Amino acid sequence: MEVTRLSSKGQVIIPKKLRDAHHWLAGQELIAIDTGDGILLKPKKPFEQTNLEDVAGCLQYKGKAKTLEEMDDAIHQGILKQLQ
């Protein structure tokens, strides 16, 4: 276990041993998650830049296009299943 302090500016130094173990360098962006009894720090991992054709092309849907009403109904049905 490593111990660190909160500075008067609200900063926390992550011990070198932990930074090295996670390969975190200066400037690493972190996500702070409130866990109720503490804070979890996770590295922010940026998505690789893509374009719409790359993303939409992976869907491969070959049916009739759904209407907004059909999509809303499917969402409603999914919520009802989760509540049961």
Tell me the domain boundaries of the chain. Answer: 1-44
* Res. 65: pLDDT tops 90: no
Closest CA to 24 of 7, 5, 44, 4: 44
Q: Sort residue 27 into left (φ over 0), alpha (ψ -120 to 50) or beta.
A: left
Q: Which CATH number fits domain 1-44: 1.10.240.10, 3.90.1170.20, 3.40.640.10, 2.10.260.10?
A: 2.10.260.10
Closest CA to 43 of 79, 10, 19: 19
Instruction: Taking residues 53-72, report their average pLDDT.
Output: 82
Could you read off the pLDDT of 2-56 as tens digits, one per residue? Answer: 889 999 999 999 999 999 999 999 999 999 999 999 999 999 987 777 787 777 7
Name the DSSP letter for residue 33. Answer: E
